[in-house]
Amino acid sequence: MNYTSEEANILVQALPYIQKYYGKIMVIKYGGNAMIDDTLKESVIRDVVLMHYVGMKPILIHGGGPEISAVMKKLGKEPEFVNGRRVTDAETMEIVEMVLAGKTNKGIVSIINNLGGKAVGLSGKDANLIVAEKEENEVDLGFVGQVAKINPGILTDLLEHGYIPVVSSVAIGPSGESFNVNADHIAGEIAAEVSATKLIMMTDVPGIYGNFEDKSTFISELKIADAKKMIQNKQIGKGMIPKVEACMTALAGAVERTHIIDGTMPHSLLMEIFTDTGIGTMIVP
């Protein structure tokens, strides 16, 4: 590219935000269409690499729903869900792990490296990063777990050497077995544990609405107490609940700001960071 003077000026406008977040850890839950559409994928990841190069320390957390179901179907196994949670028997868990840690994770790593970053892919098993315990539900969901402990040492070691950690949502159980853990929850727990400055959750919608049908009810800032009421009132949809919960977990730690943004909007990540008002819905204490 050859910058014009006006374009260079736009660059300069980013300076106050670059200064503000210099050296800060930013945990990004990467997901939704931004992980499916190839153009969008590269665009989001380039934003992350840019964040790294202007001095921030991004950590990417990802799950990988659609890919898992696709592989399962190829293997002649019908995905089964209870209340939106995947029933995960041993065979399914094996597929989940192969897809998340072997395909999705390394795919993201590869794009980052291709764009000039130095990424290292991790699952929750690496250096015991994410320790899980079985999630108790009315219906037995099998190897579905919840975070019991984060061992963040490998993340800080990698950040210190200039790597971008990419974490898949597979966790390790007490006796070395694998657990399928909600990636949103993992993002919240990791953000809290590494004292991230921001936790940014990517979804496929602009954020939270008082009434999703009425776009004028968009909420740009939402208190935890109000979010809880909205969940009780079923104003917040099922897919959004774990994202809101992740924000709550992060805020209960030392995380300064938590955001739910639209990953399908090009450069939404940068628009959130390099802006006073931000975009999306910010969850506040």
Interacting positions 139-158 with its own copies (CB under 8 A): 154, 157-158
Handedness of CA 237, 239, 244, 245 (dihedral sign): positive
Q: Are β-strands 170-172 and 178-181 bridged in parallel, bridged antiparallel, or unpaired?
A: antiparallel
Indicate the residue among 21 and 230 with the shorter CB distance to its own copies: 21
In degrees, rounded to 5, the angle at the alpha carbon of residue 155 between the alpha carbons of residues 153 and 156 is 70
Q: Cβ 262 to its own copies, closest distance in Å?
A: 11
Question: In degrees to the nearest 10, what's the CA dihedral of 183, 188, 191, 196?
Answer: 120
> Does residue 16 bind its own copies (CB under 8 A)?
yes
| Site residues (CB under 8 A) for its own copies, limited to 207-246 | none
Of 3-11, 30-38, 223-231, 242-250: span binding its own copies (CB under 8 A)? 3-11
Choices 48-56, 192-200, 220-228, 252-260; region in contact with its own copies by CB under 8 A? 48-56
| Alpha-carbon span 265 to 204, nearest angstrom | 9
Closest-CA residue to 60 (of 73, 44, 75, 76) = 44
What is the smallest separation between the CB atom of 252 and its own copies, expressed in angstroms?
28
Residue 94 C-beta: closest distance to its own copies, Å: 7
Among 53, 84, 223, 252, binds its own copies (CB under 8 A): 53
Please report whether residue 277 would count as binding its own copies according to CB under 8 A.
Answer: yes
Q: Does 123 bind its own copies (CB under 8 A)?
A: yes
Tell me, by CB under 8 A, how many residues bind its own copies: 77
Closer residue to its own copies in complex, CB, 149/228: 149
Q: How far apart are CA 184 and CA 274, in angstroms?
A: 23
Q: In this chain, which of 82, 84, 116, 223 binds its own copies, going by CB under 8 A?
A: 116
What's the min distance (Å) between Cβ of 21 and its own copies?
Answer: 10
Question: What's the rounded Cα separation, in Å, for the pair 238 and 223?
Answer: 19
Interface mask (CB under 8 A) for its own copies, residues 74-113, using x and -?
Answer: xxx-----------------x--xxxxxxx-xx--xxx-x
Residue 13 lies near its own copies (rule: CB under 8 A): yes
- The least CB distance from residue 144 to its own copies, in Å, is 18
The closest alpha carbon to 55, from 159, 201, 135, 149, belongs to 159
